[in-house]
Amino acid sequence: MSERLREHPDDLDAIDPIAKQNLIDDIDQQSVAAGFSMTSRPADGYASSPAFDRDHPARAAIEEGYVAAQQLIYGELISLDDALASVHRRRNLVYRVGLSTRT
């Protein structure tokens, strides 16, 4: 993912909030249908999740998973720290309203 795409305001402003919510809901539904475990989404949005907290005790496991997932990423690879920084800069795009409480 290029820096231009991740941070270009025109691209980011074009993300429709309803379409984004529909995608989030679809991912949740597909996860449930596949039997994946689910946890409640943080009330303050995805960016406040332990997955995006550099100091969380689970950081080593998150790094290990991120490295393992890189073989599935097409295009330019970015560091976990760069990915976390991007999520925090654009937290309004990954904020979910109407949060579910599935566990």
The predicted-structure confidence for 11-62, as pLDDT tens digits, reads as follows 666 777 788 778 878 888 888 898 887 776 777 888 888 888 889 999 999 9
The predicted-structure confidence for 62-78, as pLDDT tens digits, reads as follows 999 999 999 888 888 88
How many CA atoms within 13 Å lie on the side-chain side of 72?
5
pLDDT for 84 beyond 60? yes
Whole-number pLDDT of residue 32: 87
Whole-number pLDDT of residue 3: 52
Residue 36 DSSP label:
-
Mean pLDDT, rounded, for 88-94: 78
The predicted-structure confidence for 39-53, as pLDDT tens digits, reads as follows 767 778 888 888 888
Task: Please give the radius of gyration of the chain, using alpha carbons only, rounded to the nearest integer.
Answer: 14
Whole-number pLDDT of residue 7: 61
Spatial neighbors of 80 by CB under 8 A, at least 6 apart, are 62, 63, 66
Q: List phi, psi (to 5°) of 51.
A: -60, -25
